[in-house]
Every structure is written in structure tokens, then in C-alpha cells.
Amino acid sequence: MARMNYAQAGCAALYTAMQEDARVVTLGEDVGRGGVFGQYRGLQQAFGADRVIDTPISEATIMGAAVGMALAGLRPVVEMRVVDFALCAMDEVVNQAAKARYMFGGQGRVPLVARMPIGMWQGSAAQHSQSLEAWFAHIPGLVVVAPATAQDNHGLLAAAIACGDPVIYMEHKELWGLEGEVEPARGERLGAATVCRAGSDVTLVTWSRMVHEALRAAEDAQAEGLSIEVIDLRTIWPWDRETVFASARKTGRLLVAHESVQVGGFGAEIAAAAVEALGVRVKRLGAPRIPVGYSKPLEDVSRVTAGAILGAARALAPA
């Protein structure tokens, strides 16, 4: 058990993976200097420039080269800086990484992890603030992960590297400094959600930074007699239906909250699945369908706050 922040936890998990498996390599812009968020600090000194590979600003080739590495036997971890930049590599993600194994009839596999952080972060504006997890959840072949804690950024990154599928790994830019106890030996499983707080009136499903907002909302709700069960989904695809449905069966009400735009968001998928399977009451809460503004008052319009979550929970379970 060690105390570390979210960035350090990811770095530690990658260090261990590279130490244990010579096929694991890291590539991307600025990784040799430790990454712009410090999430690769010390790795090039430890493993050399042939395994921690500095690259030009060539997103398509960073992703495409990772596909070629994987098809030829390596297990690359790809740095995309932010998901917004990964859009320059969408052919390589969607048409190559996600499809190669199937198209080639199982002759090749693409065990790679593409780290593409999401989320608003201090006035980063419209091209550096998006949360696009739903895009990737829509693509067969991909796994989508969004850790909310230091422990999970360690355990889920290790699981992502080990799983053998192409994984879209979405850290949140505002969480890099979040500290927590990390138990490396605990291990984490992809596709397993966590019940972060037990409750009986409303099931609240969320992920990434919104987990912390949701926990604040649940605390405030408790004070007014509303009991919210908070579930951190952790893996967006394959999402943990069993845990979510078990809770929703109990409470009869399901609220899904996410930082991404509500329209076409992954919350819609979860809500629809719950209605089809259980007939429970559902509600979605996400950002308005507007670009994220630079100025704080504008950026705040896109934020889903603890207060908004509480309001949505109240609407779902009126006193």
C-alpha cells in the first residue's frame, strides 16, 4: 500500500508492466520527458528510448504504428495527450485497431492501450475539454475504460495492458493530482463496476471525475433524507449490467450522470437498457449540446455539478 496521485499510479502500473513484459512499449509525444502531466515520469530513464519512444506530432502514425507494432508482436501503450487530438487518428483507431483482428479472420490481434484523457480542465476551451467515451463505445472491437481514482488508474491500466484487446483508456485531466492509497496487488477487473456508496432510493451511475461530484451530491441528499446509491462504472464497454441492474432493481430508479454531452451520450445506452430489462424509472444528466467555452462562466454552463445531480435525483424520487 502506498499513497500516490492518479498520475503516479498510472505511471507505476506502466512501469511494472514494462518490467514484467519486454513486449510492452510506450510511444507518443513528450513521453521521454515524462509526459505533459507527469504520467510517464522516469520511464525512459528506466527502459531506454527504444521502449519509451518519443514521436513527432503525428497522431495518425502514433496510433497506426501502434497497430503495426501490435500485429507484429508488441504490446504498445499509446499516448494521445487528449482525446481531442486522438480525433486526428480516428481511421487508425476505428478502421485499423478495432477491425484488424476480425477482418484478417483472427490472424492478427491488436493488444494496445490508447491513453486519451478526457474532460474539462481550467479553461482549456472547445478543443481540449471533450469527453468522447460514447464514440468509442459504439465501435465493435474496442474496450473503453474511464478510471476515477488513483487505485483504479493503477489497477485498470494494468488490466488494460494485459487484456489483449485494443483499449481506449480515458483518464481525466482534472484528476491527475488526486491522491489516494494504492494497493498494487489488489488487481482490478475490466467490466466490473464499484458501488462507492450504498443507498436505497435512487441508483446513480457515473464514471471518471463525475464520481466525485456524485458522491458530494449523495452526501447532500442524505441530509435531506434522500438515499442515493452511487456506482462508479469504471469500464464503459463492456459496462457492468449486473451491478447496475441489481442496484436499480432495489431502488426502482436509475439516474445516469456524465460530463459528456447528454445527447447520444453513454447514459442513454444505460438508461435504455435498464428500461428494457427492468422497467425502472430512468433519467439522464449530461452537458448541454454546446461546445465547451473558455471563460469560466461559459465553461460552467457545460459542467454537470453536484447540485444538478441532486436536483435530478430529487426529480426522479420526489419526497
Partner 1 sequence: MSSSEISLAHALALYRTMARIRAFENAAESASKGGVAAFGASLSQAKVRGPLHLSTGQEAVAVGVCAQLGAEDLLTSTHRGHGHTIAKGASIERMMCELFGRATGYNGGKGGSMHIADFSVGMLGANGVVAAGIPIAVGAAHALRARDGNALVACFFGDGAINRGPFLEGLNWAGIHRLPVLFVCEDNRWSATTATGAMTAGEGALARAQAIGVPGLAVNGNDVFAVDAAAATLTAQIRNAGGPRFLHAVTYRLKGHVSVDAAGYRSHDELARALEQDPLELATIRVAAIGGDRAALAVIDAEAKAEVDAAVAVADAAPWPQEAAAYTDIQDTGAGRWRE
Report, as residue numbers or ranges, the catalytic residues: 128
- Per the document, the length of the chain is 319
**Binding residue for partner 1 (CB under 8 A) from 46, 103, 198, 290?**
103
Q: How far is the CB of 92 from partner 1 (least distance, A)?
A: 6
> Can residue 294 be called a binding residue for partner 1 (CB under 8 A)?
no
Query: In terms of CB distance, is 79 or 299 closer to partner 1?
Result: 79
> Can residue 297 be called a binding residue for partner 1 (CB under 8 A)?
no
Kindly write out the interface string for residues 247-276 of this chain, putting x where it contacts partner 1 by CB under 8 A and - elsewhere.
--------------------------x---
> Can residue 187 be called a binding residue for partner 1 (CB under 8 A)?
no
Q: How many residues bind partner 1 (CB under 8 A)?
A: 50
Q: Which three cell numbers stand for residue 317?
A: 424520487
> Can residue 122 be called a binding residue for partner 1 (CB under 8 A)?
no
Task: Tell whether omega for the bond before 291 is within 30 degrees of 0, i.e. cis.
Answer: no
Query: In terms of CB distance, is 121 or 245 closer to partner 1?
Result: 245
Stretch that binds partner 1, among 100-108, 120-128, 246-254, 305-313 (CB under 8 A): 100-108
Query: In terms of CB distance, is 36 or 163 closer to partner 1?
Result: 163
| 3-state SS string for the chain | CEEEEHHHHHHHHHHHHHHHCCCEEEEECCHHHCCCCCCCCCHHHHHCCCCEEECCCCHHHHHHHHHHHHHCCCEEEEECCCHHHHHHHHHHHHHHHCCHHHHCCCCCCCCCEEECCECCCCCCCCCCCCCCHHHHHCCCCCEEECCCCHHHHHHHHHHHHHHCCCEEECCEHHHCCCEEEECHHHCCCCCCCEEEECCCCEEEEECCCHHHHHHHHHHHHHHCCCCEEEEECCEEECCCHHHHHHHHHHHCEEEEEEEEECCCCHHHHHHHHHHHHHCCEEEEEEECCCCCCCCHHHHHHHCCCHHHHHHHHHHHCCC
Kindly write out the interface string for residues 67-86 of this chain, putting x where it contacts partner 1 by CB under 8 A and - elsewhere.
xxxxxxxx-x----------
Q: Which three cell numbers stand for residue 171?
A: 483518464
Q: Which three cell numbers stand for residue 79?
A: 499516448
Query: In terms of CB distance, is 191 or 286 closer to partner 1?
Result: 191
Q: How far is the CB of 313 from partner 1 (least distance, A)?
A: 26
Q: How far is the CB of 277 from partner 1 (least distance, A)?
A: 10
Q: How far is the CB of 142 from partner 1 (least distance, A)?
A: 7
**Binding residue for partner 1 (CB under 8 A) from 36, 60, 275, 278?**
60
> Can residue 1 be called a binding residue for partner 1 (CB under 8 A)?
no
Alpha-carbon span 224 to 228, nearest angstrom: 11
> Can residue 313 be called a binding residue for partner 1 (CB under 8 A)?
no
> Can residue 318 be called a binding residue for partner 1 (CB under 8 A)?
no
* One-letter amino acid for residue 62 of the chain: I
Q: Which three cell numbers stand for residue 22?
A: 519486454
> Can residue 311 be called a binding residue for partner 1 (CB under 8 A)?
no
Q: Please list every residue from 231 through 250 that binds partner 1, using CB under 8 A.
A: 237-238, 241
> Can residue 192 be called a binding residue for partner 1 (CB under 8 A)?
no
Name the site residues for partner 1 (rule: CB under 8 A): 22, 25, 50, 53, 55-56, 58, 60-61, 63-74, 76, 91-92, 95-96, 100-108, 140-143, 163-167, 190-191, 237-238, 241, 273
